[in-house]
Amino acid sequence: MKLTVETWQNNSILRAKSTPVKQTELHLYRPLSEAMLTYIKNPKNKGIGLAAPQVGINKRIIVVGLPNNRDEDRYSIILMINPSITRKSDEKSVDEEWCLSLPGLMGNVERSREIEVEWLDIKGKKMKKTISGYGARVVQHEVDHLDGVMICDKFLK
């Protein structure tokens, strides 16, 4: 499955609210999920996160690269179906973000420093994790895409 990344802030697919994947539909989204994982694992694509609407599909599926604590150059790549941020720390951090859907744009975005997120894996198993630091930033960025929100809406002036 070849993926094409949707771009720019006035794109109606990027701006739509994506719908959850039902347990009974999980198998239908396996090829897409695998293609998204392959895309992010390819260093040529220079991405550490991808949301299904970015490849033209308004379903609540994301792939995120979470930095390993010991070695900042290594990432665990995780597929999250129907991710839900169930807790956000009051403590915030500001860092530069970019987006595969906004080529050439970069800016500072404020995010919670730590989050708790729940999701389904490809087999429909419920997963839950507390994530802090850069990984928390990546998950918040990708979950925003599922609600039609992009970083250009959040750049600090």
> Hey, which residues are catalytic here?
142
| Closest CB 22 distance from Zn ion, rounded Å | 25
Q: For Zn ion, which is the closer residue by CB, 26 or 102?
A: 102
Q: What is the 3-state secondary structure (H, E, C) of the chain?
A: CCCCCCCCCCCHHHHCCCECCCHHHHHHHHHHHHHHHHHHHCHHHCCCEEEHHHHCCCECEEEEEEECCCCCCCEEEEEEEEEEEEEECCCEEEEEECCCCCCCCCEEEEEECEEEEEEECCCCCEEEEEEECHHHHHHHHHHHHHCCCCHHHCCCC
Sole window of 16-24, 27-35, 96-104, 119-127 interacting with Zn ion (rule: CB under 5 A): 96-104
Residue with smaller CB distance to Zn ion, 79 or 99: 99
52 binding Zn ion? (CB under 5 A): no
Report the nearest approach of Zn ion to the CB of residue 16 (Å).
Answer: 15
In the complex, least distance from residue 86 CB atom to Zn ion, rounded to whole angstroms: 22
Residue 78 makes contact with Zn ion by CB under 5 A = no
Q: Does 143 bind Zn ion (CB under 5 A)?
A: no
Question: Out of 40, 55, 61, 99, which residue is the one contacting Zn ion (CB under 5 A)?
Answer: 99
Binding footprint of Zn ion on the chain (CB under 5 A): 99
